[in-house]
Chains A and B, each alone.
Chain A
């Protein structure tokens, strides 16, 4: 059960999960062979790459494509790449995109049909099977987000076959964070920075001494891929260095959401002066929900051609920040941006627990960084808790 898995993951501290025998060391120069091995296994490898001033996830053919030597500096409403003073491949935190775009695509045609002899015929809608993907560089918070979407899209009353097919074939290579952005708060959400389970392989990039990766297989198919790579035995020193890095990533996080009584806090404050303060800043542009790795809402649009002889049904990412989202007969029931933001944050942090058994937030900080006006979910919770409407506006 994924929901239990998420909870279990929170209770497992990194140090208790590690053992020397499970680990191996992969020289940085061998990282390319991991990519080529996965390609030989039939995977289309997706990983981090620099594009348009950010680190995004796209097809990777060799280590040349990776963002070696780049870091990301993040703040509310601001993201910049900056050069590192080392040659780390994974020396950034998280970018604007998440793995959601591959598992739960932004736009997908559900079916198409044609009018023939006075009736409709559903066309062969079997999409060409997508090549299985290997995700290289999945962070702990992102893995937690995937598990949350598993719960929503696979383990509820209805299963989403589109997500299911993509998810089942995906090979996941997690990379533990050894640093945090100013917008990170996975520690307080219990989702990272340590990777406990759910990945086929888990890497930790180590720089002190020689440039190398501590690697551990989390699944049988992970072990199989690992066995094809040239690795050496891990030492206690390697483990300690990895552990120190992950602990530093936790210790340097400056943001948090206090989980104590979070449901009561939101359920008991449907009326609060902070919501008006928020509404003055919120653009209702939906960027937060688009970048959120767990937001899963979609809308369905039917289209037809001018002749009416061909019709298609498309599914697209939707957002609770649009008016159409809450449109029922006669109008939108969440007419103000105050009500829309309140809906989003209350569902994300509180109602999600009742509905799916975990928080809907993994603490990745994307909604903070990619909000065009820098609204900070952690600050909004704090303001609600403190009872005032103080804060920037």
Chain B
């Protein structure tokens, strides 16, 4: 954050933020809107310069912080992300799509042309890539914020830390750490529910286990996920290979650790 801004700014000008959308459901942008009390309440701190989902007022870049939602699924997107990268001093990806390819990366195991033929009346108008890929496969990314959707408190922490020039408190350990700090009873041990918590990165506040659901892995692989050991335990809990494979193939299916785990249970 110490380098000179590319755009000449007036003294005291606020840091600018641009928000860019690629293939995604908009849920992460909604998390940003949901943080308006924290963000817009301190308009003194930042200027949302480009955020088409929220405002018609669009200021041209460059931007101090670029927030990118969504994965790359078309030729046009693959070109556009290069342009976005050039305009943003710091580039942050938001959520599972931008960070791991998203739920739409399930196409990566299938024939996308077949989908197009089946779904669209005039398939010739559809131009898409065979794979849904994360932003970091196309341009350098400064920080990847996990989640499907992201946790708004993590987003605020990340923006605050970026503006202050400090390291954000975004832990990469397992969901279990958050779950135990909340004094939750482990649903896997006490009830035999298959839970991806031990291999999933913290950040959601152990949301699903707090409501009697096994973790769905929305925040992607934790720092050192031992998916093979958890797979063995899922079998002990009575899960079929098909069920285990599907558990790993959700919002972060294309994250390589989950991808490998899903393929080990079920040949593609």
Chain A contacts to B: CB under 8 angstroms: 51-54, 56, 77-80, 95-97, 101, 106-107, 280-287, 290-291, 301-308, 316-317, 319, 321-324, 337, 369-370, 372-374
A282 touches B229 (CB 8 A): yes
B172 touches A324 (CB 8 A): yes
Chain A residue nearest to B233 in the complex (CB): A373
CA distance A322 to B195 in the complex (A): 19
Chain B residue nearest to A96 in the complex (CB): B185
Q: Which residues of B contact A56 (CB under 8 A)?
A: 183, 185
Also in contact, A303 and B160, with CB within 8 A (given A106-B181, A337-B226, A370-B186): yes
A322 touches B190 (CB 8 A): no
CA distance A97 to B180 in the complex (A): 9
Q: Which residues of A contact B233 (CB under 8 A)?
A: 77, 372-374
A323 touches B160 (CB 8 A): no
CA distance A294 to B114 in the complex (A): 58
Mask of B170-210 contacts with A, CB within 8 angstroms, 1/0: 01111011001111111111111001011100000000000
Chain A residue nearest to B153 in the complex (CB): A303
Also in contact, A306 and B42, with CB within 8 A (given A80-B190, A372-B230): yes
Also in contact, A281 and B177, with CB within 8 A (given A303-B157, A306-B163, A337-B224): no
B169 touches A281 (CB 8 A): no
CA distance A324 to B180 in the complex (A): 18
User: Which residues of B from 100 to 116 have beta carbons under 8 Å from A?
Assistant: none
Q: Which residues of B contact A301 (CB under 8 A)?
A: 169
Q: Which residues of B contact A80 (CB under 8 A)?
A: 190
Q: Which residues of A contact B183 (CB under 8 A)?
A: 56, 97, 101, 106
Chain B residue nearest to A77 in the complex (CB): B189
CA distance A117 to B30 in the complex (A): 35
Also in contact, A54 and B198, with CB within 8 A (given A106-B181, A283-B229): no
Also in contact, A287 and B186, with CB within 8 A (given A303-B160, A319-B177): yes
Query: Can you offer 7 A-B residue contacts whose CB atoms are under 8 A?
Result: A78-B192, A79-B186, A285-B199, A286-B177, A287-B180, A306-B46, A319-B177
Chain B contacts to A: CB under 8 angstroms: 38-39, 42, 44-46, 156-157, 159-161, 163-164, 166, 169, 171-174, 176-177, 180-192, 195, 197-199, 212, 222-226, 228-230, 232-233, 236
Q: Which of B46, B164, B177, B228 has the most CB of A within 10 A?
A: B177
B181 touches A52 (CB 8 A): no
CB distance from A248 to the nearest CB of B (A): 26
Chain B residue nearest to A95 in the complex (CB): B185
Also in contact, A372 and B186, with CB within 8 A (given A307-B45, A316-B181, A324-B172): yes
CA distance A319 to B230 in the complex (A): 20
Chain B residue nearest to A308 in the complex (CB): B164
B164 touches A304 (CB 8 A): yes
B39 touches A306 (CB 8 A): yes
Q: Which residues of A contact B42 (CB under 8 A)?
A: 305-307
Q: Which residues of B contact A97 (CB under 8 A)?
A: 183
A53 touches B226 (CB 8 A): no
CA distance A307 to B197 in the complex (A): 34
Also in contact, A54 and B185, with CB within 8 A (given A308-B160, A337-B226): yes
CA distance A282 to B45 in the complex (A): 44
